Amino acid sequence: MLGPPPTSGTRDAFAELALEGGCKTFSELAARKKTDPEGYRRVCRSVREDGAYIEAGENDNLIVQKLRTNPNALGVFGYSFLDQNTDVIQGNPVGGVAPSFDTISSGEYPVSRSLYVYVKNAHVGSIPGLREFLAEFTSEKAYGEFGYLADKGLIPAPPAERERYREDARTLRPLGPTQDG
Residues 71 and 155 grouped into a single domain: no
| Domain's final residue, options 63, 82, 97 | 97
pLDDT of residue 175: 76
Residues 127 and 71 grouped into a single domain: no
Global pTM value: 0.77
Q: Are 18 and 10 in contact (CB under 8 A)?
A: no
Residues 144 and 83 grouped into a single domain: no
pLDDT of residue 156: 92
Q: What Å distances lie between residue 20 and 15, 25, 67, 83, 111, CA to CA?
A: 6, 9, 24, 25, 11
Domain assignment of residue 127, given as a range? 121-171
Residues 24 and 86 grouped into a single domain: yes
Q: Are 33 and 27 in contact (CB under 8 A)?
A: no
Residues 11 and 66 grouped into a single domain: yes
Q: Which amino acid is it at 112?
A: S
What is the total count of domains within the chain?
A: 2
Per-residue pLDDT of the chain (181 residues; tens, 9 = 90+): 999 888 888 889 899 999 998 898 999 888 898 899 999 999 999 988 898 999 988 888 888 888 989 989 999 988 888 988 999 999 999 999 999 999 999 889 999 888 888 899 889 889 999 999 999 999 999 999 999 998 888 899 999 999 999 999 999 998 765 455 4
pLDDT of residue 176: 64
Query: 111 in a domain, yes or no?
Result: no
Query: 152 in a domain, yes or no?
Result: yes
Residues 78 and 134 grouped into a single domain: no
